[in-house]
Amino acid sequence: AAMAHGHGPGRCRCCGEEAAERGAAWGLYLRIDRQRLQCLNERREGSGATVFRPWEERGDRSKFVESDDDEELLFNIPFTGSVKLKGVIVVGEDDGTHPAEMRLFRNIPHMSFDDTAKEPEQTFSLSRDPLGELEYPTKIARFSNVYHLSMHFPKNFGAETTKIFYIGLKGEWTEAHRHEVTICNYEASANPADHKLEQITPQTHFIS
């Protein structure tokens, strides 16, 4: 391991521990229900899912998602339990394809681009971050009980398409409580009545 890190064995253990601790904090990608993960306007089908991976692999340039018709991308990310989202990292190229804005929505399953007209829970102006050094902290009170996260990237720094290599999600995960298990079962079989209810709730919240 010392060789891989490029410094002596004396320092390697602490460096390894720190990296492991930091990596574990960004472990929410393990809690994504990948079967139901959606990325709208992705050029290559299934490529959106590849950007959610271990923190240590944030520099991997072989996996990325690129937008298709215009610069917009929309991720629908269902979790396997309840998540308290604390921070986000977004890695792109150091050029015009890097997303310039990120809008986060909570608990609105199956969002479409039409739905992005709603008021998001939080909006971020992004800086170009090719190395994954910038963390965007969320307003934790708004993201303390998230079972579904939507991430909308409406624009970039001037290119025709948007490219994202890595999205890191930091936070805590708890198993669904017993009374939520029934909801999960409905979800698996996509009960239309269930979705209507889920979508009405956030809307009334925004109107009031």
Residue 163 lies in a domain: yes
Query: For the chain, what is the domain count?
Result: 1
Q: For residue 57, what is the DSSP state?
A: G
Residue 193 lies in a domain: no
Instruction: Judge whether 171 and 149 are in contact, CB under 8 Å.
Output: no
CB count within 10 Å of CB 53 equals: 18
Question: Which amino acid is present at 22?
Answer: R
User: CA-to-CA distance for 18 and 25, rounded, in angstroms?
Assistant: 11
CB within 8 Å of 57: residues ≥ 6 apart: 166
What is the structure's pLDDT at 188? 52
Q: Pairing state of beta strands 122-125 and 101-106?
A: antiparallel
Residue 156 lies in a domain: yes
CB within 8 Å of 197: residues ≥ 6 apart: none
Q: Pairing state of beta strands 166-175 and 65-66?
A: unpaired
CB count within 10 Å of CB 148 equals: 20
Q: For residue 143, what is the DSSP state?
A: G
Residue 130 lies in a domain: yes
Residue 189 lies in a domain: no
Q: Which two tokens stand for residue 75?
A: 């991720």
CB count within 10 Å of CB 46 equals: 11
Sequential pLDDT tens for the chain (208 residues): 444 444 444 444 456 677 777 777 899 999 999 999 999 999 999 999 999 999 999 999 999 999 999 999 999 999 999 999 999 999 999 999 999 999 999 999 999 999 999 999 999 999 999 999 999 999 999 999 999 999 999 999 999 999 999 999 999 999 876 554 445 454 455 555 555 444 444 443 444 3
Residue 188 lies in a domain: no
CATH number of domain containing 154: 2.60.120.470
Nearest to 120, CA basis, from 206, 201, 208: 206
CB within 8 Å of 172: residues ≥ 6 apart: 83, 84, 86
What is the structure's pLDDT at 11? 43
Instruction: Judge whether 176 and 102 are in contact, CB under 8 Å.
Output: no
Measured between its terminal Cα atoms, the distance across the chain in Å is 56
* Predicted model pTM: 0.77
Residue 98 lies in a domain: yes
What is the structure's pLDDT at 25? 85
Q: The domain containing residue 51 runs over which residues?
A: 29-174
Residue 4 lies in a domain: no
Tell me which residue has tokens 């963390």: 135
